Amino acid sequence: MTQRTLIKDLASLPDGPVRVSGWVETVRDQKRVQFVILRDESGSAQLVNPVNDETAATAATISGLMHGSFVSVEGDLKADERVKLGGLEVKVRELTVESVAKDSPIADDSSIDKRLDWRFLDLRRPEAQLIFRVQTTIEHAMRQHWIDEGFIELHTPKLMATASESRAELFEVPYFDTTAYLAQSPQLFKQMAQSAGFGKIFEIGPAFRADPSFTSRHATEFTSVDSEISWIDSHEDVMQLHETLLTKALAAVVERHGAEIQQHFGIELQVPTTPFPRIPHAEVKAIVEARGHRIERQDGDLDPEAERQISQHVKEELGHDFVFVTEYPSSVRPFYHLRPEGRPEVTNSYDLIYNGVEISTGAQREHRVDVLEAQIAEKGMDAAELEEYLDFFRYGVPPHGGFGMGLARVVMLMLGLHSIRESTYLFRGPTRLTP
């Protein structure tokens, strides 16, 4: 049997025998000739079957094919510039139906919830598959940088005895004769790696938030991109790492998928320049209010409209899609964010906003155990529940910092998608646990 060829590789082959396999997109059943558009994981091609006495059995099979049926075809490849789809076609010699499809329960105009119900069918769309090819390229580019720079990849546990950051938004899980919690982030464990002397680490893994939000950017389970580095002078070192990773990721996406992104999403993706703009939180508030939006949150944290406004300001004034909002108030930051000397009201931290939406939080961590204990008490938390975490700092730890970033948000914003539901393979939200 001829070895299967991916459709994307047909153009590089000479005319002659080939074998292709995939699912049927369309059938044009004419009196003297049949055309089938076949799609596999790499692209689409046209099959042609002249109808005559010799091909009658194959013609009958093709006439009965439903959209979505999987078939394998032995045939003869022929280049023909008149064929709109790729300038080539495959003349069918033998067609085998691997599995027969029923009528699809979804259509192009189906709602997002309907499409999520039938996600395995929804993902057959070429633009849907492109989303996850882009995601793969992003992860590979970042991982390549980390490895080239001597980082260690970790896989931290997702079952925890105590909260990773706070008791808010925690999923409780029965665990033998006690209760465990699903990790909100690898925060504690990536800091432990600094105490262990690893120096530079990264992880791409699941995180869980029991957040009842139904917005376009929230999920109860998501993929978190995390990195932590030792021997930093401030959060500036973390921001430099962060922007380098994203610039390399975007460069790889543009090189590998730029034309397809333009075709399917109408976006001419650009590689951002560095450094990304940096604006202190207090200045951001003033800019946003000058643009006519007043932040109503009592804690002073930015709301979604403020994020959109500062992003639009940066785009208009500096032509940049990214902006670091720095020096967040200590009142809205976790206990482990370092507060600069003489300025206890702010932190050495940032949020990174991309195309109007926050995608990441980063900071220099507080590494002095006595300061940590004081800040835990100030936040009204129980230090006894964090004893194991505090032990990391009782035996020496270098100044360090890092960030956590939502992968699906990055992909969503990069491709101009309407919802994180589109950029997540199988979305999990307050009312969705299937498929």
DSSP states along 256-316: HHHHHHHHHH-----PPPSSPPEEEHHHHHHHHHHTT-----TT-PPPHHHHHHHHHHHHH
- C-alpha 366/C-alpha 222 separation (Å) is 26
pLDDT digits (tens, 9 = 90+) for 216-274: 999 999 999 999 999 999 999 999 999 999 999 999 999 999 999 999 999 999 999 99
pLDDT digits (tens, 9 = 90+) for 105-119: 999 899 999 999 999
User: What six digits make up the tokens of 131?
Assistant: 């989303």
For the segment 269-286, the average pLDDT, to the nearest whole number, is 97
Hey, what amino acid is at 118?
W
Helices (H), 149-175: none
**CA–CA–CA angle 126, 130, 131 (5° rounding):** 125
The pLDDT of residue 164 is: 64
**CA–CA–CA angle 276, 277, 279 (5° rounding):** 140
CB neighbour class for 106 (10 Å; exposed up to 12, middle 13-18, buried from 19): middle
* Long-range contacts, 49-52 (Cβ 8 Å, 24+): 49/91, 49/92, 49/95, 50/91
For the segment 11-25, the average pLDDT, to the nearest whole number, is 97
Complete edge-to-edge strand list for the sheet that includes strand 349-354: 152-153, 200-208, 221-230, 400-406, 357-364, 349-354, 322-326, 278-280
- C-alpha 18/C-alpha 38 separation (Å) is 14
The pLDDT of residue 35 is: 97
Instruction: Please provide residue 52's backbone torsions phi and psi, each rounded to the nearest 5 degrees.
Output: -155, -175
- 162 pLDDT band, cuts 50/70/90, is confident
Q: Which string of b and e fits 154-184 if b means at least 16 CB within 10 Å?
A: bebebebebbbbeeeebeeeeeeeeebbbbb
Who wins on pLDDT, 169 or 429?
429
For the segment 296-313, the average pLDDT, to the nearest whole number, is 91
The pLDDT of residue 346 is: 97
The pLDDT of residue 167 is: 66
Domain locations in the chain as residue ranges: 7-99, 119-414
Please name which of 247, 203, 251 lies closest in space to residue 224, comparing C-alpha atoms. 203
Query: Domain 119-414 classified CATH 3.40.390.10?
Result: no
- C-alpha 129/C-alpha 375 separation (Å) is 46
**CA–CA–CA angle 407, 409, 412 (5° rounding):** 115
- Please report, in range form, the residues annotated as the binding site for L-aspartate: 165, 209, 361, 365
Question: Is residue 26 helix, strand or coil?
Answer: strand
pTM of the model: 0.95
- C-alpha 429/C-alpha 271 separation (Å) is 32
The pLDDT of residue 299 is: 76
The pLDDT of residue 58 is: 96
Classified by CATH at the fold level, domain 7-99 comes out as OB fold (Dihydrolipoamide Acetyltransferase, E2P) (2.40.50)
DSSP state of 343: -
pLDDT digits (tens, 9 = 90+) for 125-159: 999 999 999 999 999 999 999 999 999 999 999 99
Please name which of 381, 371, 363 lies closest in space to residue 344, comparing C-alpha atoms. 371
- Please report, in range form, the residues annotated as the binding site for ATP: 358, 406-409
pLDDT digits (tens, 9 = 90+) for 55-100: 999 999 999 999 999 999 999 999 999 999 999 999 999 999 999 9
> Is residue 35 within 8 Å of residue 44, measured between CB atoms?
no
Is the pLDDT at 31 greater than 80, yes or no?
yes
The pLDDT of residue 62 is: 96
Is the pLDDT at 163 greater than 80, yes or no?
no
Residue 206 neighbours by CB under 8 Å, 6+ apart: 158, 221, 222, 223, 224
- Which range among 9-13, 27-31, 293-297, 349-353 shows the weakest confidence by mean pLDDT? 293-297
Residues 413, 417, 423, 427, Cα dihedral to 10°: 120
- Please report, in range form, the residues annotated as the binding site: 165, 209, 358, 361, 365, 406-409
DSSP states along 49-77: EE-SSTTHHHHHHHHTPPTT-EEEEEEEE
Please name which of 284, 22, 252, 264 lies closest in space to residue 129, comparing C-alpha atoms. 264
Please name which of 250, 195, 206, 252 lies closest in space to residue 228, comparing C-alpha atoms. 195
For the segment 278-304, the average pLDDT, to the nearest whole number, is 92
The pLDDT of residue 241 is: 98
Instruction: Please provide residue 430's backbone torsions phi and psi, each rounded to the nearest 5 degrees.
Output: -55, -30
- 165 pLDDT band, cuts 50/70/90, is low
Residues 208, 211, 215, 217, Cα dihedral to 10°: -30
The pLDDT of residue 385 is: 85
**What percent of the chain lies above the pLDDT cut of 90?**
94
Is the pLDDT at 166 greater than 80, yes or no?
no
- 297 pLDDT band, cuts 50/70/90, is confident
User: What six digits make up the tokens of 365?
Assistant: 């961590």
